[in-house]
Amino acid sequence: MGDNPADRVSRRSFVKYSGAAGVTGALAGCSSNGGGGDGGDGSDGSDGSDGSDGSGSSDGSDGSDAPDEVIIGSNHPLSGALSNTGERMDQAVKLAAMIKNEAGGIESLDGAELSVVSGDNEGAQELGGEVAQELIDEGASVLTGCYSSPVTSAATRTAESAGVPFVISVSVANSILQETQLNYAYRPQPPANQMAVDHARLLADAIRGAGEEIETAGLFYIDISFGQSVRDALREELPANDIEIVAETAYEPGDTADTQVTTLRDADPDAVIATTYRSGTIELVNAMNNQNYQPKYVTGCSNAAMNDVSALEEMGDTVEGGFATNFALDPTSDAAGEVRSRFESEFETSFDANVAMTYAATQVIIAAIEEAGSADPDDINDALGEITVEDHIAAMPPITFADNGENENSLAPLFQVQDLRDRVVAPEEFAEADVQF
Amino acid sequence: MLSSFFLDACGREAAAVVGALDATAAPAVLGLSLPSPTIFAQYFVFAVLLGGIYGLVALGLTMIFGVMDVINFAHGALMVVAMYTVLVFSDATGLSPFFAIPFAVVLLFAFGVAIYRSTIAPIIDAPQENQLIVTFGVLLILVSGVEMIFGADPQQLGLNLGSLELSGVFVPRGQLYALVIALIALSGTWLFLQRTMLGRAIRGTADNRDGAQYVGIDVPRIDALTFGIGAALAGLAGGVIPLFQSFTPALGDQYLINAFVVVVLGGLGSFPGAFVGGLIIGFIQVFGQAYLGGSTYQIVIFLAFILVLLVKPEGLLGGSADE
Amino acid sequence: MSNALSRAVERYGAFRDEWYALPALVAVSLVVLAAMPFLRQLALFGVAPLGWLSLNMLIITLVWATTAQAWNIMSGYTGQFSFGHAAFFGLGAYTTIILTGTFGISPWVGMLLSSVIAAVYGLIIGALTFRYDLEGHYFALATLAFAELLRYVFTNVPQLGGASGFFRPLAREYADGPGLVAFQFTGDLPYYYLILGFLTVVTVVSLAINRSQLGYYLFAIREREQAAAAIGVPTYRYKLLAVAVSAFFTAWPGAFWAMYFNTIRPSTVFDLLVNVEILLPAIVGGVGTVLGPIVGSLIVIPVGEFVRQSFEIPGLNNAVYGAILIAIVLYSPKGVISWPSRFVDLLRARTDLLDDDAA
C-alpha cells in the first residue's frame, strides 16, 4: 500500500529517467528535507529537487521534535471536464498556505512551513482513492478535495483507512458523511440537505418579508447525483415552508431545455428553481427566452451559474432579480476581500464560491495544525474534532464539527442578482444589499 | 395492465421499471395528465424539430452502414470536430455561422476520406469487430484532440436567434434552420444517389459489393467516397448544432447512441428511414421527458430499439434483411 | 542466421505444437502475475522498471483481464460479438452491494446470486436475439441496447440507488471486520490475490472449454453456424450456454469492483465505455485465445496508466490510447498473442531460404 520507501523512489525515478518531461505539479514530491528556508512561494509542486530527489520525502516524523514543514495534500480535478474549477481550487489551497507562511508559518511549531502537494484525480472515481494514497505517501498529514462527489467519497474512505484527516473543500452529496460514520472526514460547506433547508427558508422569508407571495415552485435539476440529492431535499423543505412543488423536470447534459420549459410553462409555478452546472442554467435561460417564458422568480439552489458573473452577463435580463443559494465568500469581511484580491492578482484567474470555500477549508486545516502543535495526522484529527474556527472567509458562523464530521453551523446564504451581479441579501449578518423587487 | 404487456414482450426488468415508474413519476404525471392544446402543440413542434436533428445525424451513419457495412463509431466525434470548426471559423472571420457550416462540411469530407484511407481501407475485409475498434480509436483521438485544444468546458455561439410565434406556440429559429438544412441535405443526397453516375455506383455497391466489382466499379474508391460523404454529413449535423445549443467534446457521443437506434429503426441505408426513425425517437424523447420522470424516456427508446431488432431488423423502411 | 538460433526457434515451434504447451504457458503467466507485487518493487541500480505500476493499477488490470476472459467465451470462441457486457458487470456489482448492504448477506453469497442473475439476463438476451437470428452488427447493437437499458433503469429507479448509486458498507456492519469472509480488506495486496484467484478460475474454465468437445462445437458455430447445425450440433442451445457462462463469470469481477471501490453508480459500472474496456484486452491480445485477454490487459491498462502519469496535458492519454488501438488492430489483427508464432514462422521461412541457398 505504499509504505515501502521503494515505492516512492521507484516511481519518481522511473518517470524522471524515462525522460518524460513536464511532470511538474501532479506527482512531483515536496521540497526535500534539508533545505528548509526557501520561504515565500508556498512550495507547491515544483520539483524542489536539488540533486537528492527521491531520497525519502519528509513526513514530519524524522527524529527532530518540531518538524520543519507540514504537508497538506490537495486532491482536485486538474484535467478533464472539471479542470477549470479544480485548478482554481488547488490554487486556493496553495494561496492559503502561502499567506500563512508569509505570516511566519505555524507558530506552535516554531514557524514550520506549510507546503502543498497536489494530485490530479481527473474527476474520476477510480483515481480519487489512488491520488489520496499517493498524497499520503508523499507525506501529507492532512488532505483536502475533491469537488466531484463520487471522487470525494472514494478519497475520504482511503484517508479513513490510512488514518489521515480529510477536510472536504467542496462536495455536496449528503451520503459522503451521512451514510456511515467516518472518524477522519470533515466538511465545512453545507451539504445538499442544508442547501435545500437554507434555500427554502431564506427564499420564503425574503419574499414574504417584503410583502410578496410565493406559493408554488417548479424544479429544474441535472439528472446526476448532486442534482437528485438537492431535488430530494427540496421535496421536503419546500412544503415545510408552505411552497408546493408543481413540476419537476430533469435535465441531461447535452440536452436543450425546451421540453422542460414547456412543462414548466404548463405548470406555471411562482418560482423556477434550477440545480445544474453552468451550461444547464444557460440552456434553461435560452429556452425560456425562446418561449417568452418568465416566471415570477428564477432561482438557483446549489447552482454555480447564478454566482458566476460571466454567466450572469450571458443570461442577461431573464435572471435579473433572481435569487440563488450557495456557499459564499463573506462580503462583509475585509479580510475576505483582501484574500480575493490577492488571489486574483496572484493567479490571474477568477475567484468564485468554490475558490472561497476551498480557501476556508484550508483555513480550517491550518487552524487545526496550529491547535495541534504537531504534524502528526492523529493529533491534527483530534484538533479538528474539537476546534471552532472563527477566522475564515466563508459567509457562515464559526466552523465547528459535529460527530459525523458535518459543520454544525454550515450555511448557504441567499443571493439576489442585482445589476447582473450576485449580492448576498440574507441572512442579515452577511448581507451586503437589500432585497429588491 | 401495462406491466403484463411489457412482461410478454421484453422480459421481467421492463415490468419492474414500469412498476417503479409509478412511484417516481407520480408528481410529474399527476400534474400534467391533460395538457392544453397549446402545450401539446408546443411539445409536438419540439418533437418534430428534434426528430429532424436526429434524422440529420443519422444520415451519415446510415450511409456508411448501408454501403460498407461498417459501424462508424467515430461519427459522433466527427460531429464534434464540425461543431468546433464552426466555432473557430465564426470567431476568426466574424462571419455568420451559416458560412462556417459549408466550410465544416468540406473539411469533414476531406477528413473522412483521409481517415478511411489510413485506418479502414486496410482492414475492410477483416472481422467486423476490428473495424469497430479502429473507429473507436479514431473517436478517442478526435475527441481528445478537441479537448486538448479547447478544453472540456461547454462552448456556445451565443446566437440568440429567438423564435417564431404562431398563436402561442413557439418555434425556435435555431432549430428551425437546422431542420430546414436537414431537409435540404436529405433531398440533396437523395438526388445525388438517384440521379448521378457516382450515386448509382454507390447504390450498386451497397446492394452487391461483388457484383459491383464485376461490372467495373472501383469499389475501394467508392468506399472512400462514401465514407467521405458520410463524414461530410456528420459535419453538417455537427455544424448546425451550435445554432441552437451549447456543446462540449462529449456531445457527439451522446447523439450517437440514439443515432444508432434511429438508423436501425429506420432501416439500414434508407435515407427517408433515417428521418422516420428520427421522428419516432424525437417524439419518444420529447413526450417521454414531459410525462415520465428523469431520463426514463431513454429506457423506452431502448425497448423500442430492441423490439424493432427482434421484429423487423431491417427497419421500418429497410430493404433486404441483415446480410 | 546462426544454427543455434534456428535450432532454438525450431524447438520453440515444436514445443508450441505440443498438447501441454498452452496449459504450461497459462501456468507460467499466472505464476508471473502472482509474483508481480514483488517484481514491481525489484530495483536494479536504483531504478525499478515496473515501479510506476501501482498495486491499484495492477488490480484494475486483472479486473479487466477477467472480464475479457469471460467475454471471450461468448464472443471469441462462439463468435457472438457482444458489445453489452457492462450489463453483466454492473449486475454483479449492484446485486452484491444491495444484498450485502440491505440484508447483511455475505458478499460471497451475494456474488454467487449476482452471477446467476447475470446469467439469467444473458439467457434472456440470447433467447430473444438468437431466436430471431440476429447476427453481426445487429446482434452487437442489440447487446449494447440491453446494457444501456440497464444503465437507465438503475439511474431512474430510486430503490436501485438512482444516479448516486450505493456506498460499500463497512465490514463491521455485516461481518466481524475486514477479511476474506467479509470480502473486504484494509490493504490492496489481498485484493490483488483475490482478483488473481478469479482470473485463474475463469482462465481454467476457458482452457477447459478450449480443449473440450464443447469448445469444438463453439468454434464450429463461430466459423460456420449453418454447417454446424446441418451436421446436428444443437447451435441454439450451445450459444445460450456460451452466453450464460460468459455472463456468469463477468459478474465476478463486477462484485469484486463493488467490494474494492467505495461506491458504485450507473455511470461507472454500467457506463458505455465499460463495454469497450471489457472487450479491448481480448481484441488487443487475441480474440478466441486463452492467453490473449490476459496479455491484452497487461498491455492496454499499463499503457493507459503510463500515459496518464507521464503527460500533463489533459486528454492526451486518451489520444495516445486511441492511436495504439488503431496501430495494433491494423498491424496485428490476430492480436499480440500471435506475435511469437508469427516470429517463429518468419524465422522458419528465412532459415528455409538460407538452407536452400546453402544447398
Q: Which of residues 60-79 of A touch C (CB under 8 A)?
A: 78-79
Are residues A40 and A12 part of one domain?
yes
* Three-state DSSP class for residue B301: helix
Question: Residue A427: is the preceding peptide bond cis (ω within 30°)?
Answer: yes
Q: Do C128 and B306 touch (CB under 8 A)?
A: yes
- What pTM did the predictor assign? 0.81
C140-178 tens-digit pLDDT? 888 988 999 999 899 888 888 888 788 888 777 787 778
Which of A155-169, B74-88, B207-221, C90-104 has the lowest average pLDDT?
A: B207-221
What pLDDT score was predicted for residue C141? 82
Are residues A342 and A301 part of one domain?
no
**CA–CA gap between residue B120 and residue B126 (Å, rounded):** 10
Q: Do A13 and C170 touch (CB under 8 A)?
A: no
Q: Do A83 and C46 touch (CB under 8 A)?
A: no
What pLDDT score was predicted for residue A238? 94
- Joined grid coordinates for residue C346: 518468419
Are residues A136 and A54 part of one domain?
yes
Nearest to C333 among B20, B130, B132 (CB): B130
Looking at the complex, report in whole angstroms how far the Cα of residue A250 sits from the nearest Cα belonging to chain B.
5
In a domain, A319, yes or no: yes
What pLDDT score was predicted for residue C46? 67
What pLDDT score was predicted for residue C355? 63
Are residues A125 and A227 part of one domain?
no
Angle at A389 between CA A384 and CA A394, to 5 degrees: 120
Q: Rounded to the nearest 5°, which phi and psi values hold at A108?
A: -70, -5
What pLDDT score was predicted for residue A1? 34
**Residue C322 contacts A where some CB pair is shorter than 8 Å:** no
Are residues A379 and A261 part of one domain?
no
Using CA coordinates, name the residue in chain A closest to B282: A259
What pLDDT score was predicted for residue A57? 36
| Disruptive mutation site among B24, B80, B153 for chain A (greatest number of A CBs within 10 Å) | B153
Helix axes B173-195, B219-240, angle to 10 degrees: 170
Q: Which of residues 49-78 of C touch B (CB under 8 A)?
A: 75
**Residue B320 contacts C where some CB pair is shorter than 8 Å:** no
Which of A284-293, C97-106, C198-207, C224-233 has the lowest average pLDDT?
A: C224-233
**Residue C263 contacts B where some CB pair is shorter than 8 Å:** no
In a domain, A348, yes or no: yes
In a domain, A436, yes or no: no
User: CA C249: distance to chain centroid?
Assistant: 10
Contact residues, chain A to chain B, C-beta under 8 Å = 80-84, 223, 245-250, 252-256, 258-260, 262-263, 265-267, 278-279, 282-283, 286-287, 289-292, 314
Per-residue pLDDT band for B65 (boundaries 50, 70, 90) equals confident
Is B243:A290 a contact under the CB 8 Å cutoff? Answer: no
Q: Do A256 and B27 touch (CB under 8 A)?
A: no
**Residue C49 contacts A where some CB pair is shorter than 8 Å:** yes
Q: Do B144 and C333 touch (CB under 8 A)?
A: no
Q: What is the mean pLDDT of residues A77-84?
A: 82
- Joined grid coordinates for residue C358: 546453402
Q: Which of residues 135-164 of A touch C (CB under 8 A)?
A: 149-150, 153-154, 157-158, 161
- Joined grid coordinates for residue A255: 440536452
Distances (CA, A) of A160 to A135, A136, A165, A209: 14, 11, 7, 45
Per-residue pLDDT band for C359 (boundaries 50, 70, 90) equals very low
Its domain, for residue A276, covers: 193-326+413-430
Q: Do A1 and C312 touch (CB under 8 A)?
A: no
B163-180 tens-digit pLDDT? 898 888 999 999 999 999
What pLDDT score was predicted for residue A76? 95
In a domain, A249, yes or no: yes
Looking at the complex, report in whole angstroms how far the Cα of residue B55 sits from the nearest Cα belonging to chain C.
18
Mean pLDDT of chain B: 83
Residue C340 has pLDDT above 60, yes or no: yes
Angle at C94 between CA C89 and CA C97, to 5 degrees: 130
Residues of C in contact with B23 (CB under 8 A): 158-159
How many other C-beta atoms are found inside a 10 Å radius of the C-beta of residue A226? 25
What pLDDT score was predicted for residue C356? 60
**CA–CA gap between residue A139 and residue A55 (Å, rounded):** 13
Residue C100 exposure: Cα atoms within 13 Å on the Cβ side: 32
Q: How many domains does chain A have?
A: 2
How many other C-beta atoms are found inside a 10 Å radius of the C-beta of residue A43? 23
Per-residue pLDDT band for B26 (boundaries 50, 70, 90) equals very low
Q: Do A6 and C51 touch (CB under 8 A)?
A: yes
How many other C-beta atoms are found inside a 10 Å radius of the C-beta of residue A252? 16
Is A144:A74 a contact under the CB 8 Å cutoff? Answer: yes
What pLDDT score was predicted for residue C78? 87
For residues B133 and C86, the model is more confident at C86
Q: What is the mean pLDDT of residues B118-147?
A: 85
Is A219:A162 a contact under the CB 8 Å cutoff? Answer: no
Are residues A208 and A110 part of one domain?
no
Per-residue pLDDT band for C357 (boundaries 50, 70, 90) equals low
What pLDDT score was predicted for residue C95? 94
A368-417 tens-digit pLDDT? 999 999 999 999 999 999 999 999 999 999 999 999 999 999 999 999 99
Residue B70 has pLDDT above 90, yes or no: no
For residues B260 and A91, the model is more confident at A91
In a domain, A24, yes or no: yes
Is A327:A430 a contact under the CB 8 Å cutoff? Answer: no
In a domain, A406, yes or no: no
For residues C140 and C115, the model is more confident at C115
Which of A339-343, A361-365, C109-113, C262-266 has the lowest average pLDDT?
A: C262-266
Q: Do B309 and C145 touch (CB under 8 A)?
A: yes
**Residue A6 contacts C where some CB pair is shorter than 8 Å:** yes
**CA–CA gap between residue C165 and residue C173 (Å, rounded):** 19
Q: Which residues contact B160 (CB under 8 A, 6 or more apart)?
A: A286, A289
Residues of C in contact with B311 (CB under 8 A): 132
Distances (CA, A) of B188 to A402, B192, B197, B229, B240: 67, 6, 15, 12, 16
* Three-state DSSP class for residue A140: coil
Per-residue pLDDT band for B204 (boundaries 50, 70, 90) equals confident
**For chain C, how many residues are written?**
359
CATH number at residue A307: 3.40.50.2300
Residues of C in contact with B127 (CB under 8 A): 287, 333
Residues of C in contact with A180 (CB under 8 A): 167, 169-170, 173
Q: Is the dihedral of CA B301, B66, C124, C289 positive or negative?
A: negative
In a domain, A311, yes or no: yes
| Residue spans of alpha helices (H) in chain C | 3-17, 21-39, 55-71, 86-103, 107-131, 136-156, 189-211, 213-223, 225-230, 235-260, 266-269, 272-285, 292-310, 316-331, 339-358
Q: Rounded to the nearest 5°, which phi and psi values hold at A349?
A: -145, 170
Q: Do A153 and C309 touch (CB under 8 A)?
A: no
Q: What is the mean pLDDT of residues C128-144?
A: 82
Looking at the complex, report in whole angstroms how far the Cα of residue B28 sits from the nearest Cα belonging to chain A.
6
Are residues A338 and A317 part of one domain?
no
Q: Do C134 and B310 touch (CB under 8 A)?
A: yes
Residues of C in contact with B148 (CB under 8 A): 313-316, 319
Residues of B in contact with A291 (CB under 8 A): 42, 163, 170
Q: Do A250 and B46 touch (CB under 8 A)?
A: no
Q: Which of residues 157-176 of C touch A (CB under 8 A)?
A: 162-165, 167, 169-170, 173
For residues A62 and A167, the model is more confident at A167
Per-residue pLDDT band for A5 (boundaries 50, 70, 90) equals very low
Q: Which of residues 62-121 of B touch C (CB under 8 A)?
A: 65, 69, 71, 119
Are residues A265 and A377 part of one domain?
no
- Joined grid coordinates for residue B118: 489510413
What pLDDT score was predicted for residue A306? 86
In a domain, A148, yes or no: yes
ipTM exceeding 0.90, yes/no: no
Mean pLDDT of chain A: 82
Q: Rounded to the nearest 5°, which phi and psi values hold at B184?
A: -60, -45
Residue that is written with C-alpha cell 439511474 in the block: C155
Residue B32 has pLDDT above 50, yes or no: no
Task: Give the 3-state DSSP-derived string for C279-321, with helices as H, strands as E and coil as C.
Answer: HHHHHHHCCCCCCHHHHHHHHHHHHHHHHHHHCCCCCHHHHHH
C85-97 tens-digit pLDDT? 999 999 999 999 9
Are residues A358 and A320 part of one domain?
no
Which of A191-195, A230-234, C229-233 has the lowest average pLDDT?
A: C229-233
Residue A52 has pLDDT above 50, yes or no: no
What pLDDT score was predicted for residue C354? 63
User: CA C318: distance to chain centroid?
Assistant: 20
What pLDDT score was predicted for residue A216? 95
Q: Do B140 and C322 touch (CB under 8 A)?
A: yes
Helix axes B97-115, B75-93, angle to 10 degrees: 140
- Joined grid coordinates for residue A229: 440529492
Q: Do A10 and C165 touch (CB under 8 A)?
A: no
Are residues A129 and A53 part of one domain?
yes
Q: What is the mean pLDDT of residues B230-234?
A: 95
What pLDDT score was predicted for residue C36? 84
Residue B208 has pLDDT above 80, yes or no: yes
Per-residue pLDDT band for C191 (boundaries 50, 70, 90) equals very high
Q: What percent of chain C has pLDDT over 70?
A: 95
Nearest to B128 among C136, C155, C280 (CB): C136
Are residues A29 and A137 part of one domain?
yes
Domains and CATH numbers, chain C: 3-358 (1.10.3470)
**CA–CA gap between residue C56 and residue A25 (Å, rounded):** 21
Q: What percent of chain A has pLDDT over 70?
A: 85
Looking at the complex, report in whole angstroms how far the Cα of residue C346 sits from the nearest Cα belonging to chain B.
22
What pLDDT score was predicted for residue A171? 92
What pLDDT score was predicted for residue A62? 44
